[in-house]
Amino acid sequence: MPTYTAPIKDLQFVLHDVLNISGSDIPGYEDLEADFTAAILKEAGKISSEVLAPLNVVGDTEGCRLENGVVYTPTGFKAAFEQVKDGHWTGLDMPEEFGGQNMPAVIGSAVGEMFSGANQAFTMYQGLTHGAASAILAHGTDEQKAKWLPKMVSCEWTGTMNLTEPHCGTDLGLMRTKAEPQGDGTYKISGQKIFISAGDHDMADNIVHLVLAKIPGGPEGIKGVSLFIVPKFKVDEDGNIGARNGVSVGNIEKKMGIHGNSTCVLNYDEAEGYLLGEEHKGMRAMFTMMNEARLGVGMQGLSQAAAAYENAVAYAKDRLQGRDVTGAKNPDGPADPLIVHPDIRRSLMDQKSFIEGARAFILWGATMIDAAHRKGDKDADGLVSLLTPVIKGFLTDEGYDMTVKAQQVYGGHGYIEEHGMSQFTRDARIAMIYEGANGVQALDLVGRKLAQDGGKHVMAFFELVKSFAKENAGQNEAFDRDFLAPLKAASKDLQAAGMYFMQSGMKNPNDALSGSNDFMHLFGHVCLGLMWAQMARAAQAALDTGTSDVAFYETKLMTGRYYMARRLPITATHLARIQSGSDTVMGLDAANF
Ligand SMILES: Cc1cc2nc3c(=O)[nH]c(=O)nc-3n(C[C@H](O)[C@H](O)[C@H](O)COP(=O)(O)OP(=O)(O)OC[C@H]3O[C@@H](n4cnc5c(N)ncnc54)[C@H](O)[C@@H]3O)c2cc1C
């Protein structure tokens, strides 16, 4: 069975050595001294390794089951959910006013990576609830907040998001679910939603569905969509649970991975719903939830890669096959361990350098969310909004690839279920699809985010890279050569791609969209290059000032050098592909495929 070890030391390195969070002026960060964050991460790590990880395979093999309209979660999930609730983990970064701990998002993200790495399917129950609660927090009336939030923050009641219908997932303007106003402030919701994560289960007393639906007579298409709170059980004025509402489970989907999470078909039959936010402004309200969820999904890419890597490393050190080409490393044994082979090393270094770079990227993103929410920093808000599709799309595409690489280290034993490696691959796969498939993330990045606010945010990103390079140049020859030079080259590729879109994409949108996936990946690599340059600078500083942990910091430098030398140069290929335009992509008549 796979193991899960929480990456506490690595998280602490990013939080304190790289991001220097306790020195930040973001309100709430002043308490985040290293001792304090270590205590939180240690506790979260313990529950991840000891409670959630052992249930990961159980969830995968047992799955959820539907019996007489009731969904049952796998053995042990309910008791573990109680433990997570009792530890107040569900409201870690929610306001105290509603029973939360009011921790910044950066701590929520660090803890989230561990929970998700230990058991993605399980963690989704609380993740979806968090997203639904955030939407109510941002768009609800005072009465709605008071009624729904305390129970959702504690996860006594969980939440879901209901967008998808059988005939529409990406193109939600085609939505058919209706919301008929009743004249008393309530609406009757009717229609079918499919693929609803955590849609029903036996771990909470009530489930608060956030449902997108159209009010008859409203604007056509996406502009006519509104968002509604639709509870599984109605709730009276005093917060008591009452009669069953008109929502039922039609089915639970059989699927490739995340078997421990119930993916439901939900049928709404004149269910009582309450408008959240304004009529016909449902997408705006839903985006509060989706933006948060997209960052959480990006983290799933990282977390599955990290969990798979941990096991691949252990296997590579243990499994004896072949001999080191430069001379036996285990002369007394029948063969050397896999880890002596350069090709296994390459794979493990790809994984390690991605994981640690992605971890820094996610936590940096979370500091921007904190700056936006806690300090009203509009620039941080704009930058994280630009980077959200990159975090979601790039980290989940790459995260999936890394789980495949980890599986490959096991050879045939990775394909056989016994070692649990295929579960990481199967679980990671969904992150590339839900919360907007990755092709649509790339479309959002190129079609919308690049030009947002007159291109201000992408210019701010380039400025950030430029000023980092300027501030840190000329102090250490090896750093300039190994980190700054490749970062500057990759950033130049990104700028050239942006320029191509401005010149060519304006004339022919197919030119821009044929390169959108490459652009998202190009951007992601530059972000990870920036993260590695920052981590290398921090590691070098620790080595220069003297540290008792020389091996840790030297390992950081070596891993960073690998990323800059072996992964980052792919930006040139992405640029060449982008600049080839759309002729070869769009040239064939559909009949000739
Ligand atoms: C396990 C699971 C859990 C899910 N959980 C939820 C949930 O909790 N709530 C919820 O509402 N939904 C959920 N979904 C649904 C998920 O979000 C959708 O499947 C996803 O958004 C894609 O929609 P679709 O499947 O209809 O694909 P389509 O929209 O039909 O898209 C098919 C493909 O075409 C591409 N495509 C579509 N339009 C364009 C375009 N204009 N340009 C370029 N490419 C395009 C897409 O990228 C995709 O690759 C879940 C799905 C699964 C499988």
pLDDT of 92 > 80? The answer is: yes
Q: What is the mean pLDDT of residues 538-548?
A: 96
Report the atom number in ligand 1 closest to the C-alpha of 128.
8
pLDDT of 546 > 90? The answer is: yes
pLDDT of 267 > 90? The answer is: yes
Q: Residue 291 has what pLDDT?
A: 76
Q: What is the mean pLDDT of residues 399-421?
A: 97
Q: Residue 23 has what pLDDT?
A: 95
Catalytic residues: 435
Per-position DSSP letters for 37-84, written without gaps between them: HHHHHHHHHHHIIIIITHHHHHHHHH--EEETTEEEPPTTHHHHHHHH
pLDDT of 16 > 90? The answer is: yes
CA-based nearest residue to 211, from 289, 295, 297, 292: 289
Q: How far is the CA of 480 from the centre of ligand 1 (A)?
A: 43
pLDDT of 61 > 80? The answer is: yes
Q: Residue 293 has what pLDDT?
A: 83
From atom 53 of ligand 1, which residue's Cα is the shortest distance away?
195
Q: Residue 564 has what pLDDT?
A: 98
pLDDT of 317 > 80? The answer is: yes
Q: Say how many C-beta atoms besides its own lie within 10 A of residue 81's C-beta.
A: 22
pLDDT of 289 > 80? The answer is: no
Is 263's C-beta closer than 6 angstroms to any atom of ligand 1?
A: yes
State whether residue 115 is helix, strand or coil: helix
Is 460's C-beta closer than 6 angstroms to any atom of ligand 1?
A: no
Residue 119 CB-density burial (10 A; 0-12 exposed, 13-18 middle, 19+ buried): buried
Q: What is the mean pLDDT of residues 182-198?
A: 98
Beta strands in 165-300 (DSSP E): 178-181, 186-197, 206-214, 225-231, 233-235, 241-244, 247-252, 263-276
Is 520's C-beta closer than 6 angstroms to any atom of ligand 1?
A: no
Q: Model confidence at 453, in pLDDT bands (50, 70, 90)?
A: very high
Q: Residue 507 has what pLDDT?
A: 87
State whether residue 89 is helix, strand or coil: coil
Report the atom number in ligand 1 closest to the C-alpha of 168.
26
Counting residues of the chain whose pLDDT is more than 70, the rounded percentage is 100
Mutate to test the pocket of ligand 1, among 170, 225, 435, 444 (most ligand atoms within 8 A of CB): 170
Report the atom number in ligand 1 closest to the C-alpha of 253.
1
Mutate to test the pocket of ligand 1, among 268, 433, 443 (most ligand atoms within 8 A of CB): 433
Distance CA 392, CA 442 (A): 10
Beta strands in 374-506 (DSSP E): none
Q: How far is the CA of 436 from the centre of ligand 1 (A)?
A: 6
pLDDT of 284 > 90? The answer is: no
Q: What is the mean pLDDT of residues 43-65?
A: 98
Q: What is the mean pLDDT of residues 339-346?
A: 98
Is 347's C-beta closer than 6 angstroms to any atom of ligand 1?
A: no
Q: How far is the CA of 437 from the centre of ligand 1 (A)?
A: 5
Q: Residue 354 has what pLDDT?
A: 99
Mutate to test the pocket of ligand 1, among 120, 162, 164 (most ligand atoms within 8 A of CB): 164
Q: Model confidence at 401, in pLDDT bands (50, 70, 90)?
A: very high
Q: How far is the CA of 263 from the centre of ligand 1 (A)?
A: 14
User: In whole angstroms, what separates CA 234 from the centre of its chain?
Assistant: 32
From atom 7 of ligand 1, which residue's Cα is the shortest distance away?
196
Q: Residue 502 has what pLDDT?
A: 87
Which of these ranges, 49-63, 131-145, 278-292, 377-391, has the smallest mean pLDDT? 278-292
Dihedral angle at the C-alpha atoms of 546, 547, 552, 555, nearest 10 degrees?
10
Report the atom number in ligand 1 closest to the C-alpha of 433.
20
Q: Model confidence at 559, in pLDDT bands (50, 70, 90)?
A: very high
Q: Residue 320 has what pLDDT?
A: 98
Q: What are the angstrom distances between the C-alpha of 196 and each of 76, 166, 248, 434?
A: 22, 11, 12, 10
Q: What is the mean pLDDT of residues 417-444?
A: 97
Q: Model confidence at 65, in pLDDT bands (50, 70, 90)?
A: very high
Q: Model confidence at 292, in pLDDT bands (50, 70, 90)?
A: confident
From atom 17 of ligand 1, which residue's Cα is the shortest distance away?
434
The chain-wide mean pLDDT, for the chain, equals 96
Q: What is the mean pLDDT of residues 223-242?
A: 96
Is 163's C-beta closer than 6 angstroms to any atom of ligand 1?
A: yes
Contacts of 219 (CB under 8 A, 6+ apart): 280
List pLDDT tens digits, range 464-505: 999 999 999 999 999 999 999 999 999 999 999 999 998 887
From atom 40 of ligand 1, which residue's Cα is the shortest distance away?
440
Buried-state track 180-216, b at ≥16 Cβ within 10 A, e below 16: eeeeeebbbbbbbbbbbbbbbbebbebbbbbbbbbbe
Q: What is the mean pLDDT of residues 352-377?
A: 96
Is 430's C-beta closer than 6 angstroms to any atom of ligand 1?
A: yes
From atom 32 of ligand 1, which residue's Cα is the shortest distance away?
170
Is 433's C-beta closer than 6 angstroms to any atom of ligand 1?
A: yes
Is 437's C-beta closer than 6 angstroms to any atom of ligand 1?
A: yes
Report the atom number in ligand 1 closest to the C-alpha of 437.
47
Q: How far is the CA of 462 from the centre of ligand 1 (A)?
A: 32
Q: How far is the CA of 433 from the centre of ligand 1 (A)?
A: 6
Q: Model confidence at 290, in pLDDT bands (50, 70, 90)?
A: confident
Mutate to test the pocket of ligand 1, among 207, 249, 254, 440 (most ligand atoms within 8 A of CB): 440
Q: Residue 230 has what pLDDT?
A: 98
Report the atom number in ligand 1 closest to the C-alpha of 198.
8
Mutate to test the pocket of ligand 1, among 124, 176, 195, 445 (most ligand atoms within 8 A of CB): 195
Q: How far is the CA of 195 from the centre of ligand 1 (A)?
A: 10
Q: Residue 506 has what pLDDT?
A: 77
Report the atom number in ligand 1 closest to the C-alpha of 212.
11
Q: How far is the CA of 70 from the centre of ligand 1 (A)?
A: 26
Q: Model confidence at 287, in pLDDT bands (50, 70, 90)?
A: confident
Task: Return the structure tokens found at 458.
Answer: 């992408």
Q: CB pairs under 8 A, 24+ apart, for 446-450?
A: 446/501, 446/505, 446/512, 446/513, 446/515, 446/516, 446/519, 446/520, 447/512, 447/513, 447/516, 449/385, 449/386, 449/388, 449/389, 450/386, 450/498, 450/501
Report the atom number in ligand 1 closest to the C-alpha of 199.
8
Contacts of 307 (CB under 8 A, 6+ apart): 2, 4, 117, 118, 424
Q: Say how many C-beta atoms besides its own lie within 10 A of residue 500's C-beta.
A: 18
